[in-house]
Amino acid sequence: MSLIVRTPVDPTGRPYGRRRAALGVLCLSLLIIVMANTSLIVAAPAMTADLGLSGSDLQWVIDAYTVPYAALMLMMGAAGDKYGRRGALLGGLAVFIAGSVAGSLAGSVAWVIAARGVMGIGAAMIMPATLSLLVATFPRAERARAITAWTATSGLAIAAGPLLAGWLLEDHSWGSTFLINVPVAVLAMAAALFLVPPSKASGRGRLDLVGGALSVVFLAALVYAIIEGPHFGWGAAAVTAAVVAVAGAVAFVLWELRHPRPLLDVRTFRDRTFAGANLAVVLFFLAAFGSIYYLTQHLQFVLGYGPLATGLRLLPLAGAVFAGAAVTNVLTPRVGMRVSVVLGMALGTLGISLMTGVTAASGYGAFLAPLLLLGAAIGLSVSPCTDAIMGAFEERRLGIGGAVNDTSLELGGSLGIAILGSILAASYESEITGAIAGRLPADAASTAQDSVGGALAVAGRVAASGHADQAALLVRAAHEAFANGVAHTSLIGALVLGAGTIIVAVLLPARRRPRPTPEKAPESPRIPQEISH
């Protein structure tokens, strides 16, 4: 019979011998979560053409994954602490596989959105489990390096998703990009049974279900408002969601302050290191994810690269992430967390600011330095922040620690894509409206104003009708409008991240204080002692 890791030991015993192999499994699980979004970016044009997606449809295809992912992480992290972190990982992988298969078979907008929602639920189970299992498995002396490897994996996924999706799209339909995740997830599930130790908290008590429900309500409403308001206007739906988010957040904080065993002890945010690390993650991913989102569109729609060529041109980002991670392993222990984080955020600000000079005539070279700087910034900044956030939680609450870190990351990414994406859309619409005024029928003009992809599709129809000169003018106007939008949006992104860099520099202490709580008592299952048949 196969050998499967089953038996836990006292956490004060010797370190788990297979911890590095287990780290590989956890990084593999993280890989598919990030690739689920980055692969979709290069598949978006084919999906838009096949399903006839509007700009609103495409936004919700992307964000149907984000809403459940962000909303459920705190609750899923707590459930993993109580019932088993490896079980949460395996369950999340199974749900993720189901959503991926459903997405590959989708034939309508509603079906794709539903499949992406299921994938988001699976991701909410996987993400905090990977980080809590990592911290539970590695001794303190080795955790920073393990977290750095975990962080570097996200940089690899940012480039690997578009690259693999582009390769598939050369000969297959957009549905094949959903299947990228399936073999990786199946491999991760099988390997987890043999290599990842069982882990859960002892003495966790009953789950704070009311706090969990309030967290789901307020985070779901917050993310929905972030997506709906900037992109589609502050109508009744967006305003209602914002009000629910505020009311839910207030109710959550008041409940958690009074509960004897809260889902999340909100008093932890009084600690400057913890608060500063979370703020840095939110602001950094707001700027980084937003800029990568529109940079990728520029490569495809303006420079005309296909999906595979786009993926190849994102590889410098992944390489820079690994370089930044290698540097932070040496730099942070010597100069402290604040220097590493602030330096990384400053590099990210510089990278985004370089895109303010982009024009329709700019080639790929104009984006190479921003990609390298953003990648180095991710590698340099994120792992010290994650290490600080996880260090604020005692061993029995590692799932919640991972969920807090990942929620900050996801909220930042959602804000970046929503806010910077809406600024880009508004700038593009303003620019192209003047350029095409009176030159197109009303319905064609509306499509062209909706997105650069829509404008290029209209240009294709105009050319097919025998008006090649008019089509060329429309393509030129769309390229110029989008490039100007990228430059304008990059300026806003750089200002936001630059201001955030100053705030984080003031907030973070010069040297991080020692982690607050020693491991006082043994937990129940954390790392395995032996292999059972």
Contact 43, 307 (CB under 8 A): yes
Give the per-residue pLDDT at 232: 67
Instruction: Extract the tokens encoding 494.
Output: 């750089």
pLDDT at 530 over 70: no
Distance between CA atoms of residues 89 and 122, nearest Å: 9
Select the highest-mean-pLDDT range: 57-61, 116-120, 330-334. 116-120
Q: How confident is the model at residue 55 (pLDDT cuts 50, 70, 90)?
A: low
Q: What is the DSSP string of 224-284?
A: HHHHHHHHH-S-HHHHHHHHHHHHHHHHHHHHHHH-SS-SS-GGGGGSHHHHHHHHHHHHH
How many CB atoms are closer than 10 A to CB 316? 18
pLDDT at 172 over 90: no
Distance between CA atoms of residues 531 and 59, nearest Å: 47
Kindly report which listed range (40-54, 259-273, 361-375, 503-517) carries the lowest average pLDDT score: 503-517
Distance between CA atoms of residues 463 and 481, nearest Å: 20
pLDDT at 117 over 90: yes
Average pLDDT over residues 288-305: 87
115 vs 450, residue with greater confidence: 115
**Average pLDDT of the chain?**
84
Strand, helix or coil for residue 103: helix
Give the per-residue pLDDT at 203: 62
pLDDT at 108 over 50: yes
Distance between CA atoms of residues 134 and 20, nearest Å: 10
Helix axes 365-391, 337-353, angle to 10 degrees: 150
pLDDT at 477 over 80: yes
Signed CA dihedral, 228, 231, 232, 234: sign only: positive
Contact 355, 486 (CB under 8 A): yes
pLDDT at 186 over 60: yes
Give the per-residue pLDDT at 470: 84
What does DSSP assign to residue 196?
Answer: S
Phi, psi (deg, nearest 5) at residue 202: -95, 150
pLDDT at 98 over 90: yes
**Which pTM value belongs to this model?**
0.83
Distance between CA atoms of residues 164 and 265, nearest Å: 41
pLDDT at 229 over 70: yes
Q: How confident is the model at residue 88 (pLDDT cuts 50, 70, 90)?
A: very high
Give the per-residue pLDDT at 152: 85
Q: How confident is the model at residue 173 (pLDDT cuts 50, 70, 90)?
A: confident
232 vs 149, residue with greater confidence: 149
Domain boundaries, the chain: 4-207+263-433+478-511+521-532, 208-262
Q: Bridge-partner residues for 532, per DSSP? A: 4
Kindly report which listed range (6-15, 160-169, 267-276) carries the lowest average pLDDT score: 6-15
Average pLDDT over residues 306-330: 87
pLDDT at 10 over 70: no
Give the per-residue pLDDT at 517: 45
Instruction: Tell me which of 3.90.550.10, 1.20.1250.20, 1.10.3210.10, 3.40.30.10 is the CATH number of domain 4-207+263-433+478-511+521-532.
Output: 1.20.1250.20
Give the per-residue pLDDT at 531: 34
Distance between CA atoms of residues 234 and 358, nearest Å: 30
Signed CA dihedral, 85, 88, 94, 96: sign only: negative
Strand, helix or coil for residue 525: coil
pLDDT, tens digit (0-9, with 9 covering 90-100), for 415-451: 888 788 888 988 998 889 888 877 778 888 888 887 8
pLDDT at 123 over 80: yes
Average pLDDT over residues 369-390: 91
67 vs 188, residue with greater confidence: 188
366 CB contacts (<8 Å, ≥6 apart)? Answer: 354, 355, 357, 358
Give the per-residue pLDDT at 352: 95
Percent of the chain whose pLDDT exceeds 90: 32
Average pLDDT over residues 130-143: 87
pLDDT, tens digit (0-9, with 9 covering 90-100), for 326-346: 899 889 888 889 999 999 999
Average pLDDT over residues 488-508: 93
Q: How confident is the model at residue 231 (pLDDT cuts 50, 70, 90)?
A: low
pLDDT at 13 over 70: no
pLDDT at 366 over 80: yes
pLDDT, tens digit (0-9, with 9 covering 90-100), for 238-288: 899 999 999 999 999 999 999 888 888 888 888 899 999 999 999 888 888
Q: How confident is the model at residue 528 (pLDDT cuts 50, 70, 90)?
A: very low
Give the per-residue pLDDT at 521: 40
Q: How confident is the model at residue 136 (pLDDT cuts 50, 70, 90)?
A: confident
Give the per-residue pLDDT at 143: 85
